[in-house]
Structure 1
């Protein structure tokens, strides 16, 4: 973040009553200053002032370590008389834009956390229901001859029907019309099913978008994407 510090002169006092600790014959002036810090999002005036004694002949600043007790007391007196800063803290236009953006973001996050969830579609709710006997689904099955290799794998798209459920074991039958390639579900038979089922499978994954079955030996997998 861009940051700059300005030295703002508050007052200047010409001094005749104090002696210059470096060059007794040279006159001094006391300058009282305040810093102003500027950034992209804010500007700040420091509350506390600081003083500098300058040799007016040599035009050099007198180090603070050389200040006499009288010089310190004189500074303390004049520092109290210094004008107050016009403000202490001020947000810039960019800063206000940042603040408003932050408020809008937090407001959205709060709203998003308390707003009611969108209603689930009928299809989503249907897919979330635990499969039971008589349910009809659309998807794809894959039967492998050897686990881990696609060589000789049998795969088809179409409709399936749950013919029997034994605990966590499902027996699914395929439609009499299955397709090697994907086709719209409306084009395939979803009424007539084979009497023989695929190898027994278990439910391994279920969401509102897909259901997955898999056999214990890992050779048969069924991927469901729709429910009738």
Structure 2
């Protein structure tokens, strides 16, 4: 794996295809004023290794002892709802993953494999591919371009912050490709926003401005 600086505001992380998964990936990072980090992730499978046909990538993001462990997103329990939902699981691997409205792809895996966050699903669905959480006086927003197989994931525990006497929640995401082809490139684009806390209207405005 290599990490290189491109210029004062861009860098790139490249992982060549490895013997276990035979997948090559590249992540381009771009810092944008005043408080944005844009991500462009691309991956390419080099062999038909995964006999079930689907492939998934998982990003684990443990947050250092926030007072409020919840994520918030626009969605609901039915396909017509677009309400602000609070997402805070009670235990690891407990209704941990939120799918988009219309994401009906069912992952399959070998029987007897260990439990995992991506195997457990919330009854809630999201309407827009963005979520946010509160950290002190800041709001952390994670947003994605629409239509990219993104799933949101939460866990309440991730090690212990002794000073705050609490745990570090996981505010994660997944990228699922239901059926992949060898040598074809797959990608998604995301934006991280870390800015002073603001009303939800401004969070939605950030998303609409970025997605156009």
Same fold (TM over 0.5): no
Higher strand residue share: 2
Q: Which has the larger radius of gyration?
A: 1
Higher helix residue share: 1
Give TM-score, length-normalised by structure 2: 0.20
Give TM-score, length-normalised by structure 1: 0.20
